[in-house]
Structure 1
Amino acid sequence: MTDENIIKLYFERSELAILETDKKYSRLCNNVAENILKIREDIEECINDTYLSVWNKIPPVKPHIFSAFLCKITKNLAIKKYEYLTAEKRNPNLEVVLLELEECVSGRESIEDHINEKELVILITNFLRQQRQRERVVFILRYWYLEPIHQIAKKTGCSKSNVKVILMRTRRQLQEYLTKEGIKI
């Protein structure tokens, strides 16, 4: 079933919408949640919460890219669940990803002093559009889907060290791009 038809089912308030969403996107949502949460029950709860959230948001929201809409909701819910479960503990994988990005967009308050979050998203999107496909895919797998280095290497056919180099160079280029655009880092 096409995304447009699934969204139409949500607007009709048909419970079939959730079944079709699950049929088409359960693996994708599962991968996103699994990269943050490691316990099967927590992942399943996150996926169920994702479907409930989508049900509550559509309508009135009509997502342009349904898969990205689902991934964003899943990722945000998984991070909230992770924060709840690990109030004092730290997930070393998530910490590493956040530390890597911190050098590009550190000082969250200083960024917010200059632009709002949507403008930052537009700048990062424009930056990624200027990158070659391989660099863009590696960057998105790491920082959007929170994939570990070894999984990115497997998916892209690169070595782990090559993935690390691509990420390092792309972060440095992003930092330079944001600085050039007037973002204080």
Structure 2
Amino acid sequence: MRDEEIIELYFNRNERAIEETDVKYGNYLASIAGNILKCPEDVEEALDDTYMKAWKRIPPTRPQILRIFLGKIARNIAFNKYENMTAKKRGGGEIAEVLDELEECIPDSSDVEGSILGAELSRIIRDFVNNLPDREAYIFSCRYFYTEDISTIAKKFGMTQNNVSVTLSRLRGKLQSTLVREGYLAS
């Protein structure tokens, strides 16, 4: 079924919209949530929450690209679930590693001013990724949006793990320079 037809099912409040969403995008959304949560039961719960949130947001929202719209919802739900699960027990894992990698170049937004500037920061990062060559943009997105581990990225792009690590380090350096130039980080 085409995305436009699925979206129309949502607008018509037809519960088949969720079934069709699951058929078309279930594996994709499970992959996103699975990279973050690792536990099949938690992934299943995140998928259910994703479908419910999509049901609540469509309408009034009419997504331009349904796959990306759903992917963002799934990613945010999985990250929130991960945060809640680890609030009591801090530990390692891919998410902690990804966040540690980005910590050096993403400013702290825990204050009110930081919260207000969050949308601008998102735009700068989106523009940064959009201006990268395709391969680098995909590598960056695989690591920092889809939270894939280094070995998975290396296999996907036919690279060594060391080459992926070096590429990501350079990209973080470029992002950091961009954020300094934009006034989000001190030089």
Q: What TM-score comes out, normalization by structure 2 length?
A: 0.92
* Alignment correspondent of 1:106: 107
Letter in 1 for 2:58: I
* Alignment correspondent of 1:72: 72
SS of 2:183's partner is coil
**Are the structure 2 counterparts of residues 115 and 182 from structure 1 closer, same or farther at C-alpha, using a change threshold of 3 Å?**
farther
* Alignment correspondent of 2:160: 159
Q: Deviations over 1:13-65 (max 9, x none)?
A: 11111111111111110011101112111111110111011011111111122
* Alignment correspondent of 2:97: 96
Pairing 1:55–2:55 present: yes
* Alignment correspondent of 2:6: 6
Matches of residues 1-185 of structure 1 in structure 2 within 5 Å? Answer: 1-89=1-89, 90-109=91-110, 112-113=113-114, 116-185=117-186
Letter in 2 for 1:182: G
- How many angstroms apart in 1 are the aligned matches of 2:166 and 2:111? 28
CA-atom RMSD in angstroms? 1.8
Letter in 2 for 1:124: I
- Give how far 1:88 is off: 2.3
Contact 1:111 1:183 in 2 (8 A): no
**Are the structure 2 counterparts of residues 87 and 115 from structure 1 closer, same or farther at C-alpha, using a change threshold of 3 Å?**
closer
Q: Deviations over 1:52-103 (max 9, x none)?
A: 1101111111112211111111111112222222332224211110010111
Structure 1: tracts of 5 or more residues without a match: none
Letter in 2 for 1:184: L
- Give how far 1:127 is off: 1.1
Structure 2: tracts of 5 or more residues without a match: none
- Give how far 1:110 is off: 7.1
Contact 1:29 1:47 in 2 (8 A): yes
Contact 1:105 1:111 in 2 (8 A): no
Identity fraction in percent: 45
- How many angstroms apart in 1 are the aligned matches of 2:116 and 2:159? 36
Contact 2:140 2:168 in 1 (8 A): yes
- How many angstroms apart in 1 are the aligned matches of 2:173 and 2:115? 20
Contact 2:109 2:115 in 1 (8 A): no
